[in-house]
Amino acid sequence: MQVIIFDDHKRSAFYPITLSRSTGDLRCGILKLRQRLEKCFSNEESTTININQILLPLYHERHPDWQINQTVDGNKLYLNSRIKVSGDLIKQIKALKSNCALVSADVVIAANLDTAEINVTDTSVVLPSNTALISSELDLYESISDIIHDNARMLVWDFDHYFYDQDNFFETEPGVTVLHPYNVWISEGVTLSPGVVLDASEGPIILDEGVKVMPNAVLCGPLYIGKKTLIKIGAKIYGNTSIGPICKIGGEIEGSIIQAYSNKQHDGFLGHAYIGEWVNLGADTNNSDLKNTYKNVAFYSYPHMGKIDSGSQFLGCIIGDHSKTGINCSINTGTVIGIGCNLWGQGLISDFVPDFSWGESGKLSPYRLQAFCETARTVKQRRSLCFSVTETELYHNIYSMEK
């Protein structure tokens, strides 16, 4: 059976992070949403992904061997990329018979079909009229806030299902303290310096290939550190945190997700936040993740063009790709910063910073697209990577859309 993972009409609910990627490429736990669905359902067969047309050229460039927006013959299992994986949901999906669909309200969770149409506007599945609908109360992710607050559960899920039995290169140097070593998984090429503490008493710690942890850093589970990420001297990383590959991390982090290639090297607190790629947080940048009133935090929603309730007392900031903060920046609770922003100054950054903004809080100007592209090109060149023509065109399209 061919597995087809599709983004639906709710992709915009995850802006600004999904302005430049598929919903399925959001990280939650150790894996991305798409990767987890492939492991649960693909049975090593090839997987097709259906994504928005604006992303298509970039995905073809980066993943030439992927099947993207392709029609395949035969029986197909359609899976919504927003699926919140659980044991019950996996059982329900695997029990689907031909020409049946699992739905929540009017949203397709999964469908076992021979033929189906794909909405060309948002890549949602359009069910044939003869499809048998099976109602489910199981959840889909509705926003970035949902993903942040499900991260702890998925860290444990991924460890138990995909990492616990893998080859473990658990070796530590003298001076490294490990609590609950059976909850610690270390890949090849990991370097742990004297004074490092790995405290897995509250959940697993996974250090992926090539991670380097400098002296006196304290890492608490559940926690995932991605490939070739550097943890700086004296860093304090609390549980429920996922850090993607090739990041540089220092200071204090709690309950947060960082996609990849982003830097928070210096002192400062980052809590219950979601950070995209190529983000740089200046020295002593701090965010609040709890209101003094202890009420639920509201945050800006792109589809609603205004704030919505996160349903939680804890929510820090959401920062899109290629955004930067200067030294000593303060970010208020529930702040959403769009892609391509360059922010500095002593004023409190709060509420919503539109994509491609430049300046101090309260004195923002539109970031000139050419200047943005020049900076992005320089940043990627420092990692021996190219800010390609295709990538440039994507940001031109996003810029035009935002205007």
Write the CB contacts of 330 (distance below 8 Å, at least 6 apart in sequence). 285, 286, 287, 288, 346, 348, 349
Residue written as tokens 């949203």?
Answer: 107
Question: What confidence score (pLDDT) does residue 366 get?
Answer: 86
Let me know if 305 is exposed, middle or buried by CB neighbors in 10 A (0-12, 13-18, 19+): exposed
DSSP codes, 322-387? T-EE-TT-EE-TT-EE-TT-EEESSSPB-SEE-TTEEEETTEEEEPPHHHHHHHHHHHHHTTT---
DSSP three-state, residue 389? helix
First to last CA, the chain: 43
Q: Regarding the domain delimited by 143-258, which CATH topology (the fold level of the hierarchy) does it fall under?
A: UDP N-Acetylglucosamine Acyltransferase; domain 1 (2.160.10)
Q: Work out the angle between the directed axes of helices 87-94 and 33-41 (0-180°, nearest 10).
A: 50
pLDDT at 44: 56
Q: Which run of H or of E encompasses 168? A: none
How do the pLDDT tens digits run along the chain, 403 residues long?
889 999 999 999 999 999 999 999 999 999 999 999 999 997 656 789 999 999 999 999 999 999 999 877 788 899 999 999 999 999 999 999 999 999 988 899 999 998 777 775 677 788 888 899 999 888 899 999 999 999 999 999 999 998 877 767 677 678 999 999 999 999 999 999 999 999 999 999 999 999 999 999 999 999 999 999 999 999 999 999 999 999 999 999 999 999 999 999 999 999 999 999 999 999 999 999 999 999 999 999 999 999 999 999 999 999 999 999 999 999 999 999 999 999 999 999 999 999 999 999 889 998 889 999 999 999 999 999 999 999 999 999 999 987 6
* Residues 215, 197 contacting (CB under 8 angstroms): no
Cα separation of 141 and 147, whole Å? Answer: 7
CA distances, 60 to each of 101, 259, 280, 392 (Å): 29, 20, 27, 15
Q: Which two tokens stand for residue 321?
A: 């790709």
Dig out the tokens for 278 from the structure. Answer: 């190529």
In the prediction, which pLDDT does 401 show?
Answer: 83
Q: For 260-403, which CATH class?
A: mainly beta
Closest CA to 211 of 162, 247, 179: 247
Do 143-258 and 260-403 share a fold? yes
Task: Report the alpha-carbon distance of residue 85 to residue 34 in Å, rounded.
Answer: 11
Domain at 2-141, CATH class: alpha beta
pLDDT at residue 70, rounded to an integer? 85
Instruction: Note the pLDDT of residue 94.
Output: 93
Domain boundaries of the chain, sorted by first residue: 2-141, 143-258, 260-403
